[in-house]
Amino acid sequence: MTTAPLRLGTRGSALALTQSQMVADELTAATGRAVELVRIVTPGDTSSAPVAQLGVGVFVSALRDALLDGRIDFAVHSYKDLPTGAHPSLHIAAVPRREDPRDALVARDGRTLADLPPGAVIGTGAVRRIAQLRALGLELQVTPIRGNVDTRIARVLGPEADLDAVVLARAGVARLGRAVEITDTLDPMLMLPAPAQGALAVECRADDTDLVETLAALDHAPTRAAVVAERALLATLEAGCAAPVAAYARLVRGGHAGSTPGDGRGEEMIHLRGAVISPDGVRAIRLSRTGTPAGAAEIGKALAADLLDAGADTLMGSTE
């Protein structure tokens, strides 16, 4: 008996289609199941409003509706687009291996961030990036922009370019095969990424147990642990802080700064860095914690509590 192809719901942007096809190919290679892409239009695709104004989940809701009404079998999301609260009827069945989560600069004349002259106009769509760029004190003019990866890069390198540089997620540029145009990959010490940046979430209906088991073939445990830590930090802060939030977790060997004797030297540990920055970039609180992958969520929650104790909830609206 021929098994019908699995229907994978995706947004219609070039990046979404590329990411979804990548997941489809990996699933077919791992399980032998055929997969077909089903394009779903989301409100975020038809609006020109800033993402911060549209709200978290604007790119996700239409895909989830298609899952719940049976038009598709599973969906691929950029994990950072997902609301932090769990959906009662849906399940993240797999978190594939993460692409490089750092931010990247595409600038005229091959310039790095340090090479940009005072007054250079730099565009980005994220309040987190805007705040951190301002915090660097480089006398750059930062302007909010919208659009897909190709549109943003065209504003620097296209025939009608009007910006000196743009900052965007390296993962998306690389997945589209345009990494050669990146002029600077930004050190997380300068520009801490968004929680779950560079990671994908493969989601299906929670009661579709056979598909949950099938999709698990794509799960990359180290990536899942890192993302769980970052998103637990974000979820905890969302209740008490509306300022830009950044987080980056990576797995290291025990004995890293922050670990203590007897806590598993030589074992794999999660090192989580988190930051909350005032929108104007004047004030920032940056802290870190280390723990075991099994305690990823607890590490995120504890670091969020540390940040709030240090005054993170006072940073929103800072203008001094």
**CA 21, CA 114: separation in Å to the nearest integer?**
36
Q: List residues bridging with 251 in a β-sheet.
A: 270
**CA 209, CA 211: separation in Å to the nearest integer?**
5
Q: List residues bridging with 120 in a β-sheet.
A: none
Nearest alpha-carbon partner for 121 in 175, 161, 83: 161
Residues listed for the chain: 320
Residue 54, amino acid: L
Residue identified by tokens 């994908």 is: 200
Cβ pair 103, 37 in contact under 8 A = no
Q: Read off φ and ψ for residue 217, nearest 5 degrees.
A: -60, -20
Is 81 known to be catalytic? yes
Cβ pair 151, 176 in contact under 8 A = no
Where helices occur in the chain by DSSP H, the ranges are: 14-31, 43-46, 51-54, 61-68, 127-135, 149-157, 170-175, 209-215, 221-238, 296-309
Nearest alpha-carbon partner for 197 in 141, 120, 132, 117: 132
CA 45 to chain centroid, in Å, comes to 18
**CA 306, CA 290: separation in Å to the nearest integer?**
13
> Which of these is catalytic: 73, 81, 103, 184?
81
- Classify the phi-psi angles of 76: left when phi > 0, otherwise alpha if psi is within -120 to 50, otherwise beta: beta
**CA 187, CA 196: separation in Å to the nearest integer?**
16
Active site residues: 81
